[in-house]
Amino acid sequence: MNILAVFISVVLLIMSVPIFMVFGLGSSTTAIWGMNLPWSTLIQVSFGSMTKHVLIAVPLFIFTGMVMLRGGAAHRLVAFATALVGHWPGGLGIAMVLAMGFFAAFCGSILAAITAVGTIMMPKMVEQGYPKPFVIVLAASAAFLESLIPPSNAAILFSALTDVPVSRTFAAGFVPGLVLLILLTAVVSWRCRDLRSPVRSSGAEKLSAFWNSLPGLFTPVIILGGIYAGLLTPSESAAVAGVWAMAIGFFVYKELTLKGFMDCLKQTAMITAVIFAIIAMATFLSVVLTYSQAPQKIITFFTEMGGTPLMFWFAVAAICLILGTFVEIVPVFYLTVPIFAALALSLNLDILHLYIVFVAFAGIGMITPPVCVGVYTAASVAKESPEKAFREVPLFVGVGIVFGLLMVFFPAAATWLPSVLQ
C-alpha cells in the first residue's frame, strides 16, 4: 500500500495536479486501505491542524501586505530606498533589494512582495539598461527575504509544526535575513557595476522620502514591538497591523479605495485558501507517519549508522534542494519538518538553527525550474517569458547555496538574537 501511495502521488505530481490533492490522495490511500484507519481520524487531525491559534496570524499578515500594496505604502518604501542608494553602481537593483527587505517586514506573502515592489522597480531598471532576465531573477530572489525577516509566514508554519514560540522563530530569522540582503546587494553591485542613475537625490529629497514612508516603516515596530514587549500575541499583533495598514491607506495616504479594499480581502482569501488546503491535506501524511512510527525508525537508522551533526545538515540541505525544486515551500515544510525536528533533537541540535538551514535551502526552489514560482511571478510582472530568465538562475542559486552553507557553519546567526531576547 505504501508503494501504491507513492506511485499515485508521483503520477499526480507529474500530471500537475494541485499539490494538496497529491498529499490528500496518496496519504489517505495508505491510511484507509493500508492501515485501516477510519476517515473520522483523518478529518479530526486535519481540522485540529488548521485551527491552531498561531495560524490565525497567516491571513492577517497577508491582508496587511495587500493593504500596504493598495494603500500606497509600498510605493513610498520604494521611493525611499531609491533615494538612499539609487545613485550607487547598480543602485536601482540595490534599491529593489532594500525595498523587498522593507516590505518583508510587514508582508506575509512572497508573491505579494514581488508584485508590490517589482511593479514599481522592474520597469525603471529595464529602462536604465539592466538586463531584463537579471531583473526578473533578482526580484524573485530578493522576495525570499520575506521567509526570513520577521514577521514571516514561514516562521509561523514552522512554529505550528514544532511548538516553538513564534517570537523566538521570528527572532531567529532577523540576522540571517540581513546576511542574505548583504549577499544580494554585493552580487548586484558586482554584476551591475557599470550601471548607475545619473540623478543623485539631495539631502532634502532623502528626508522627504523618509518622512513620506514613515507610516509604513512604523508597521514593523507595531508588529514586533507588541510581541516582544509582551503586550500582544503574534495573532493580535497581525490584527493590529492590519488595522494600522487600513488607517494609513484610507486616512494618511488616501490611496486605498473601497474597491481596492475589497480586492485586498479577495486576494487574502485566495492565498489563505491555498495555504490551508495544503496544511489540511499534508496532515494526512503526518497521520501515516505517526501510525507507522516512521520518524522513530529514521532516527534509529541514522544513529545506528553513526550519523553526525554535519552529516545531518548536509542531508537536510540535499533533501530541501531536491524537494524545493519540484514542490513549493509550504508542502516541503509539512513533508519533512516533523522528521527533521525529531532528528535534530536526537542530535542535541538547536531547533531554530534547523529552521534557518531548512528555509535557506528549500527557498532556492523559488528560482529553480520547473516550479520556480518566484521567477514565474516576476516574469509575469515584467511581461517577459520566464524561459528567457532561466540563464540568470545559476548565479542566484550559487548565492543561495553560499548563504545556506554560512548558516550551516555559523549557527549563532540563528540562535544569538533569540537567546538575547529571551
- The pLDDT score that the predictor gives to residue 301 is 75
- The pLDDT score that the predictor gives to residue 363 is 87
Report the candidate in 415, 68, 98 with the shortest Cα–Cα distance to residue 267. Answer: 68
What does pLDDT average to over the chain? 86
- The pLDDT score that the predictor gives to residue 221 is 86
Query: pLDDT of 364-388, one tens digit each?
Result: 877 888 778 788 888 988 888 888 8
pLDDT, averaged in runs of 10, over the chain (422 residues)? 67 76 80 81 83 87 87 88 88 90 72 81 88 92 87 89 92 95 94 80 92 90 87 90 94 94 92 85 76 71 80 90 80 84 90 95 84 84 87 93 96 94 80
Query: pLDDT of 237-295, one tens digit each?
Result: 989 999 999 999 999 999 999 999 999 999 889 888 888 888 888 788 777 777 777 66
Q: How many domains does the chain have?
A: 1
- The pLDDT score that the predictor gives to residue 414 is 95
pTM over 0.85: yes
Signed CA dihedral, 370, 375, 377, 379: sign only: negative
- The pLDDT score that the predictor gives to residue 295 is 64
Rounded-to-integer distance, Cα 346 and Cα 300, Å: 10
Signed CA dihedral, 17, 22, 26, 31: sign only: negative
Rounded-to-integer distance, Cα 273 and Cα 229, Å: 32
- The pLDDT score that the predictor gives to residue 106 is 66
Instruction: Give yes or no for a contact between 327 and 364, defined as CB atoms under 8 angstroms apart.
Output: no
* Structural domain boundaries, residue 328: 2-421
